[in-house]
Every structure is written in structure tokens, then in C-alpha cells.
Amino acid sequence: MVRLVILLFLAQVVLCALALISCLSAEKRDVRGLPRSLWVLVIVLLPLAGPIAWFVAGRDAGPARGARPTGTGSARRPVAPDDDPEFLRSVAERGRRQDEELFNRWEEDLRRREKDLRRREDEQDRPEV
């Protein structure tokens, strides 16, 4: 029985700590209902109800993680570049252009070498006068 009480107490402390961290790290626009300072008092003074109230009513669920509002209604812009389709397209296009340029340089170099080789063969095939 004592172990259960200790376990529940530790769970309550962890929940309180998580709620405090969440409350203190939330942006001002994501805090609902009460000012942040009152939420901290509620979380600390109401052992189990405070953290639960914070998670249920105090913080805004808001946009999905990894996206932020752009101010144009419901349109959201990805936060990370590798989540942005336009950025990924530009990277692919740049890579394709670089590959084409490299291929063109290789072809030009090959043509130049073949031309030099033919010229040398022609010079060797001519009889010296």
C-alpha cells in the first residue's frame, strides 16, 4: 500500500512538473482562460486538478506541431525546409541543372579529346616531306 501511495505521489509530482514546464514555455498567444501567472498558481496550489485543468483548458491545442500560421486564414507554411514542397522542388531542379551542366562539360571534353586524337593520328599518317 505504501508503494502505491509513493507511486501516485511521484506521478502527481511529474504531472505537476510537466504542466509547469508546458505553462512557462507556452507562447503568450497559446495561454487561454487565465493569465500565465494565475495558471502557475493553479497548477502549484491544486495538486491534481491544476495540472489537469492546464492541459484541458489552459493551453491552446492550436496548429499542428511543425506548422505555424502565416496570417492568411487557414493556410499554413511548413517550418522546416525539408517539409516545404517548393523548397524540395527547387533543390531537385538545381540538382538536375547541375547534372546537365556537368554532362555537357564531359561531352565537350570528350569531343575535344577525340578531335585532338584525330589530329594526332592524321599527323602521324602523313608522310614527312
Please state the domain count of the chain.
2
Query: Cβ(23)–Cβ(59) under 8 Å?
Result: yes
Same-domain pairing of 47 and 13? yes
pLDDT of residue 46 exceeding 60, the answer is yes
Residue-range definition of the domain harbouring residue 26: 1-59
Render pLDDT for 91-105 as a digit per residue (tens, 0 to 9): 999 999 999 999 999
pTM exceeds 0.95 for this model:
no
Among 9-13, 52-56, 63-67, name the one with the lowest average pLDDT: 63-67
What is d(CA 106, CA 108) in angstroms, rounded to the nearest whole number? Answer: 5
| Same domain (yes/no): 84, 55 | no
Q: For residues 38 and 91, state if they share a domain.
A: no
Which pLDDT belongs to residue 51? 92
pLDDT of residue 65: 47
Q: 44 pLDDT exceeds 60?
A: yes
Residue 128 within a domain: yes
Please state the rounded mean pLDDT for residues 52-81: 66
> Are 54 and 105 in a shared domain?
no
Residue 126 belongs to some domain of the structure: yes
| φ/ψ of residue 67, rounded to 5 | -130, 150
